[in-house]
């Protein structure tokens, strides 16, 4: 086939150049020219209906939306993150560190779909067919009906997809795929953008669910152009320490489900296994109540999750005391310490403060504020909080305790796991008592500190 013409466009100002240059001739910026395929425009007025002109115009009120059917993969935690399963014509992008388990999870999911009678295809651009077969044998998967294509050329991959029309296709990985239409090397911005656009177009036209595996940079973001995340319907991040057996899959974008949904897996000899009670992973088992520990009930997507927050406050040996956090936002810690000083009269200016979310989970929601403050005060006074206490609530700069979303679900989850006391914002106080748990509703940080003294 004839190669399509390409040009180089500036990502800053849009200036086009027939060849690559280090400096943009339009705006003078360096290293902003990227390769792009020249689109051939049809003459005005010719074949207008074929291009989907006025014939595609609809009144929004006349469109009858329908619920997209879900295709469960058989991996419950993966289905939870996806919002119930895969959607026909959807495009999923999953990224993570090397060796974290991306290929293992997708191989398990495709094997179960194939067992259920679905037509599936695994496209391997990083491993040979023998390597994929060895992994499947090690995981003891039944792959008798699973089809494999070891190829990195986009045109050949698309030809195979058009011929087979699978229900689900995995491209492992998008950074290894290259197109004849582009002169740049595989993995470049232009190649990743063009290949992803072609595969997305095929998914929407054919109804095949396409899952793209993406690499990540050393900062932890997906490699390639940012537009890659805008093209797809769902973006998943694989998190976890390669030295730990636990893995977290988090949805940061999902057009068909909840954002920030979390799936928890344990890496075993037979692959990734879903964890039924993830709260047990993030709660330490102390024989006695210890100072500086407070249990937080956070919300990850639709799932309430109990996480232990640990704080250590110690006298500083340096002129500038340290403020370190693991799994929490460090700037927010400095703000909370200022609120603690101003409204509760507790000074930590000459103390080193360390805060850690147990289990490696990352907490971004502000409802963790109250648990962090109580853990800090507990460590500073060397006074343990009750072992069956759970806490949540956002703390404002005026010292007020603000409500958290889905407070009833959090309390019910804590009661189910055996917690007997809860400190919550006054606006989250349940109208009816929840069996097995005593709820203490407060609206000021000073009241929370007084409650600690009462214990």
For every residue of 393-413, which 3-state class applies, written as one string? CEECCCCEEECCCCHHHHHHH
Q: Under a CB-based contact definition with an 8 Å cutoff, are residues 92 and 174 in contact?
A: no
Query: How does DSSP assign 332-373, residue by residue?
Result: HHHHHHHHHHHHH----TTEEEEEEEGGG----SGGGHHHHH
Residue 292: its pLDDT value, please?
95
Give the residues across from 95 on adjacent strands: 214, 237
Containing 107, the helix (H) or strand (E) segment is helix 102-115
Ranges in the chain, pLDDT < 70: 1-5, 37-55, 242-243
Residues 6 or more apart from 441 whose CB is under 8 A from it?
A: 424, 425, 426, 428, 429
Structural element, H or E, at residue 159:
helix 154-164
Question: Does pTM top 0.75 for this prediction?
Answer: yes
Contact assessment for residue 91 and residue 200, using Cβ atoms and an 8 Å cutoff = yes
d(CA 19, CA 40): 19
Residue whose structure tokens are 């979390």: 262
Write down how long the chain is: 455
Using the structure block, give the residue that is written with the tokens 């997305």. 200
Alpha-carbon gap, residue 82 to 350, rounded angstroms:
47
Q: What is the pLDDT of residue 47?
A: 44
Which pLDDT score is estimated for 303? Answer: 85
Q: What are the two backbone dihedrals, phi and then psi, of residue 445, each rounded to the nearest 5 degrees?
A: -70, -30
The kind and range of the H/E element at 391 are strand 389-391
Quote the pLDDT of residue 380.
95
d(CA 173, CA 127): 10
Tokens 């390669």 locate to: 242
Per DSSP, the three-state class of 49 is coil
| pLDDT score, position 39 | 52
Tens-digit pLDDT profile for residues 386-397: 989 999 999 999
Q: How confident is the model at residue 53, as a pLDDT?
A: 43
Query: Strand 438-442 and strand 421-425: pairing?
Result: parallel
Rg (CA), the chain: 26
Tell me which residue of 268, 273, 236 sits closest to 254, measured CA to CA: 236
Closest CA to 263 of 236, 294, 243, 224: 236
């Amino acid at each position: 086939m004839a190669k399509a013409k390409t040009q180089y466009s500036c990502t800053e100002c849009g200036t086009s150049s027939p060849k690559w240059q280090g400096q943009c001739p339009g705006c003078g910026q360096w290293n902003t020219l990227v390769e792009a395929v020249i689109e051939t425009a049809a003459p005005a007025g010719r074949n207008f209906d074929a291009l989907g002109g006025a014939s595609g115009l609809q009144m929004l009120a006349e469109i009858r939306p329908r619920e997209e059917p879900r295709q469960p993969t058989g991996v419950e935690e993966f289905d939870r993150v996806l919002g119930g399963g895969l959607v026909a014509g959807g495009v999923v992008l999953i990224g993570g560190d090397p060796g974290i388990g991306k290929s293992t999870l997708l191989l398990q999911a495709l094997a179960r779909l194939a067992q259920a009678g679905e037509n599936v295809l695994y496209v391997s651009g990083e491993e040979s067919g023998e390597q994929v077969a060895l992994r499947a044998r090690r995981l003891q998967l039944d792959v008798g009906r699973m089809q494999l294509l070891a190829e990195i050329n986009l045109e050949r991959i698309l030809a195979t997809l058009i011929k087979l029309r699978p229900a689900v296709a995995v491209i492992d990985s998008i950074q290894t795929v290259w197109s004849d239409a582009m002169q740049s090397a595989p993995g470049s911005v232009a190649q990743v953008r063009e290949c992803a656009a072609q595969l997305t177009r095929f998914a929407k036209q054919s109804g095949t669910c396409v899952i793209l595996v993406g690499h990540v940079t050393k900062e932890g973001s997906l490699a390639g152009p940012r537009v890659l995340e805008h093209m797809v319907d769902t973006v998943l991040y694989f998190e976890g320490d390669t030295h730990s057996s636990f893995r977290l899959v988090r949805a940061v974008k999902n057009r068909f489900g909840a954002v920030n949904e979390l799936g928890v897996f344990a890496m075993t000899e037979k692959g990734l296994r879903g964890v039924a009670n993830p709260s047990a992973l993030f709660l330490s088992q102390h024989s006695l109540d210890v100072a500086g520990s407070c249990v937080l009930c956070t919300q990850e997507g639709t799932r309430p999750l109990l996480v232990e927050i640990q704080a250590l406050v110690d006298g500083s040996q340096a002129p500038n005391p340290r403020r370190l956090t693991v799994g929490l936002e460090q700037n927010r810690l400095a703000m909370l310490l200022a609120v603690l000083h101003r409204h509760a009269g507790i000074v930590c200016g000459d103390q080193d403060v360390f805060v850690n979310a147990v289990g490696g989970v990352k907490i971004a929601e502000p409802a963790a504020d109250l648990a962090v403050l109580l853990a800090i005060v507990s460590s500073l006074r060397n006074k343990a909080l009750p072992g069956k206490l759970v806490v949540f609530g956002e703390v404002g700069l005026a010292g007020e305790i603000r409500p958290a979303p889905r407070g009833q679900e959090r309390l019910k989850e804590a009661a189910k796991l055996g917690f007997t006391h809860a400190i919550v914002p006054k606006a989250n106080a349940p109208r009816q008592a929840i069996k097995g748990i005593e709820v203490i509703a407060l609206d000021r940080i000073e009241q929370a500190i007084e409650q600690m003294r009462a214990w």
